[in-house]
Amino acid sequence: MKFCIATILLGLTLIGPAQAQDPIKPTLLVTGDSLSAEYGIARGTGWVALLSNRLKQEGSSWEIMNASISGETTSGGLTRLPKLLAQKKPKLVIIELGANDALRGLPLVETEKNIRTMVELSKKSGADVLLIGMRIPPNYGQEYTQQFAGLFARIAKSQQVALLPFFLEGVAQRNELFQADRIHPNEAAQAIMFQNVWTALTPFYGLLLKK
C-alpha cells in the first residue's frame, strides 16, 4: 500500500508542473452588433469566423471571443464590457458599435461618450484596441451623417488607437452584397469585411502572428 501511494504521489508531482506550465492563449475580444454577430447568415461564415480561420492558418495561438449581439447599441456594449474584460482578459479588443445608435437617431454626443469610455476601459485593462468606423445613409441629414462618420476618427486620434475608417468599404455601394432588408451584408460580403479588418490589424501582426 505504501508503494502504491508513493507511486501515485510521484505521478501527481510529475503531472502538476507540466500542466502549470501550459501557456494561456491570448484572447481577441470582438464587441459588436449584427454586422459581427452573423445576422441572417449561416453560423461560421461571418467575418469574425474568417478572422479566426486566418489566424489558425497562420499558426497563431490567439483565440477569438465574439461577444457581438444583434441590435446592440453603444450603451449596451459599454454595460457589458467591464465583465467581459474581467472574465476574458483580452490582449486586443475590436469595438464595432454605433450603427444602431445612429439608425435610432440617438444623440451622437452619447454615442461618442460611450465608445470613448469603452476604449478607455479596454486600454486600462491592458488591451490594445482597434476601433471600427461606420457610416449611415444620407437620408438622416447631412449634418448628422457627417458628425456620425467623424466621431470614430476623433476618438481614435485622441485615444491613440488603431482605426478602420469604414467597415463596409467595398460593400456599401453593391446591392448584391446585402440581404433582402438592404441593411445587413450577406455571406458573400463577409470576405470583403474580413479583409478590411485584417488590413486594419496590420499594426498588431507582430502580436497576432507570434508563434
Catalytic residue list contains 22: no
Lowest mean pLDDT segment, chosen from 28-42, 63-77, 80-94, 197-211:
197-211
Residue 62 is predicted with a pLDDT of 97
5 has pLDDT over 60: no
User: CA-CA distance, 106 to 110, in Å (whole number)?
Assistant: 8
Residues near 207 by beta carbon (within 8 Å), at least 6 away in sequence: 26, 91, 92, 128
Q: Are 177 and 171 in contact (CB under 8 A)?
A: yes
Catalytic residue list contains 33: no
Positive or negative, the CA dihedral 44, 49, 52, 58 is positive
**10 Å Cβ neighbour count for 132?**
26
Residue 138 is predicted with a pLDDT of 83
User: CA-CA distance, 86 to 38, in Å (whole number)?
Assistant: 25
Question: Residue 164: which pLDDT band, with cuts at 50, 70 and 90?
Answer: very high
pTM of the model: 0.88
Catalytic residue list contains 125: no
The three cell numbers of residue 205 are 501582426
User: CA-CA distance, 152 to 157, in Å (whole number)?
Assistant: 9
20 has pLDDT over 80: no
Per-residue exposure over 40-60, b if at least 16 CB sit within 10 Å of its own CB, e if not: bbeeeebbbbbbbebbeeeeb
Residue 210 is predicted with a pLDDT of 80
Catalytic residue among 61, 70, 75, 184: 184
Catalytic residue among 33, 34, 36, 68: 34
Residue 2 is predicted with a pLDDT of 46
